[in-house]
Amino acid sequence: MLEEIKDYIQQIAEVISEVLKLDVTIVDKNFIRLAGTGNYKKYLGKKAPKGSGFDMVKQVKTRVSILDPGRHETCKNCKMNNLCKTTANLISPIFVNGKVEGFIAISSFDFKQRQQLILAEQKYFNFISQTSDLIANKISLNVAMNVLETTTSQLTAIINSVHEGILATDENGVIISWNSSAKRILGLNNDNLKEVNIKDLFEDKFELNEVLHKGQIVMQKEVSLKDIYGGDTFLYYARPIISQGEIAGAVMTLKEIAEVHQYFAGYISSTSEFTLENLIGKSSSMKDLKFKSQKVAKGTSTVLIRGESGTGKDLLARGIHSASMRSNGPFIGLNCGAIPEALLESELFGYEEGSFTGAKKGGKPGKFEIVNGGTLFLDEVGDMPLHLQVKLLRVLQDGVYFRVGGRKEVKSDVRIIAATHRDLEKLIVEGKFRQDLYFRLNVVPIIVPPLRERKEDIEVLLYHFLIYYNEVLGKRVIDFEDDVRIKLLNYNWPGNVRELQNLVEYAMNMVDNDFIKMEHIPEFTFDTSQDQECVETNKLQSIDKVLQETFRKAVSLYGKSEEGKLKIAETLEVSRATVYRKIKEYKL
């Protein structure tokens, strides 16, 4: 510690020596002479002799006077005992935070100086004790300054590593500091920011006056740069800087709007992560589905998931995303059938400022922009209007699109996973779905089988949701009553997994004991027609009815596309012509 203020303590030593007309030396805790005057100057940087008075002071931790060098008890162990030229010494420790960090000594080298020192011993001791405190304070201040400097450097590095832009102003709104991210986000350099009033950068509706004059905190407000600086829009937070009870300025953070949307898209995706391993089922069809989905996930091709409502097409899409190379990017799902046609285009592609009545200033990014670098799931794509199918086809073909009301092409790096429960081939014939878009979407088709065609998965799903809702609802339901379980296993589940989950949730809310009974099942679940169908299917049927049911199941499983018909023919070991004929005959 003393080494760091060596020049300072040398000046102190020289001042004391000049005032007292005595020699002064200052050594550190390792007895290295760091400062000295007169006879001590030639020993600077060298170690004081072993067994000297400094050793004694270090042991007793208090000041020591040696008025008879050579004969004093301390001097007996000193290696320089017989060569010592001093005639008297006063030594005081230098304490820093309760620890001895060094020593200061004044010495006489002749009889006259010795008499002077002896006569004023107490006064000189008080003087060097105060000097010790002065040196200790300087050390503490130096340590504090070093800590402050280190902390400042660390804080600067931290602030510059923050992704958000940070601006600080004085009480008049003049920018006094900023981080590197602020320059990047705003697209400005140091000259644009230095001593510029922040009001000159942003548009009039900027609310910094609320912060600087009223001390209010502004959160999640949009603000745009003036046109001369590009006019970009940002999300900002601002809070006052309070010093001694007064507003001394403000600090604000800036985020790019597109980044905010992408962050929340990624956050929603990560907080509701679903993997392919979460797909529940032990049937061969579910094992095949998982296997195919794992292979598909590794690529970048567009995927078309087909299946009835409630089969979990959205979860499968999320699982494919989680297993893909884009898993760290955002995942957003959009139901094309749930959004009014007039809004769907702007939801997908975004819009520019002034593109229509009510359009937000600065425009708004669409799902393609928000999910850039990730996966966009288009559910019920069969319900998409024809004019939007053209724009979607352009994105799939060329990777570019235009915002609503925009003239500038926007590049897109998005993987599309689409899903539908509708017969797209029929829609193509009816002129309601573009064939070229169909081929672009149907690069990798995946069919999710309905629950009635994988009966072995029903029991697995029942107990999965039983365990799940036990945890959610804080219950300890053990099992289903046998009659309930048998009934559920034989039920056709027209609503598929969604219906099954809803039924278990309903029952778990109704049950008050250890077992789910028939009284806990929704009364409309097992209607007469459903029961009758179950009874009839267990009876012997004519060959024609068996064939009709077989073809109905095959079409439900594989669909009526050319690929589906070929699969039916291979599975049932009949010709393709027979498949065409039976589909027409049975009106499937």
Amino acid identity for residue 488 in this structure: L
Q: Which candidate, 67, 58, 114, 108, places its Cα nearest to that of 75?
A: 67
Contact criterion met (CB below 8 Å) for 24 and 17: yes
Q: Which candidate, 135, 132, 105, 94, places its Cα nearest to that of 20?
A: 105
Q: Where are the beta strands (DSSP E) in 70-209?
A: 88-96, 99-108, 165-170, 175-178
> What DSSP string runs through 307-364?
--TTS-HHHHHHHHHHTSTTTTS-EEEEETTTS-HHHHHHHHH-B-TTSSTTPPTT-B
**Range with lowest mean pLDDT among 27-36, 93-102, 143-152, 464-473:** 143-152
Point out which residues pair with 376 in neighbouring strands.
332, 416
Distance CA 324, CA 299 (A): 7
- Cα 134 from chain centre: 50
Contact criterion met (CB below 8 Å) for 430 and 450: no
φ, ψ for residue 189, nearest 5 deg: -110, 180
Q: What is the β-pairing status of strands 479-480 and 515-516?
A: parallel
Q: Which candidate, 435, 484, 437, 442, places its Cα nearest to that of 462?
A: 484
- Residue 263, pLDDT > 70, answer no
Residue 578: strand, helix, or coil: helix
pLDDT confidence of residue 258: 56
Distance CA 269, CA 318 (A): 8
pTM above 0.75, yes or no: no
- Residue 137, pLDDT > 50, answer yes
Distance CA 460, CA 501 (A): 12
What Rg value do the Cα atoms of the chain yield, rounded?
Answer: 42
- Residue 262, pLDDT > 60, answer no
| Mean pLDDT of the 344-363 span | 76
Query: 487 vs 121, 377, 459, 468, CA distance in Å?
Result: 107, 36, 11, 21
**CA angle (85, 91, 92) in 5-degree steps:** 165
Where does the pLDDT of residue 265 fall: very low under 50, low under 70, confident under 90, or very high at 90 and above? very low
Select, from the ranges 220-234, 350-364, 499-513, the one with the highest average predicted confidence (pLDDT).
499-513
pLDDT confidence of residue 204: 63
Tokens of 278: 């979460």
- Residue 84, pLDDT > 90, answer no
**pLDDT per residue as tens digits for the range 453-483:** 999 999 999 999 999 999 999 989 999 999 9
Distance CA 400, CA 394 (A): 7
- Residue 259, pLDDT > 60, answer no
Please name the residues in contact with 469: beta carbons below 8 A apart, sequence gap of 6 or more: 475, 504, 505, 508
pLDDT confidence of residue 359: 64
Residue 586: strand, helix, or coil: coil
The two counts, helices (H) then strands (E), for the chain are 22, 19
Select, from the ranges 155-164, 263-272, 579-588, the one with the highest average predicted confidence (pLDDT).
579-588
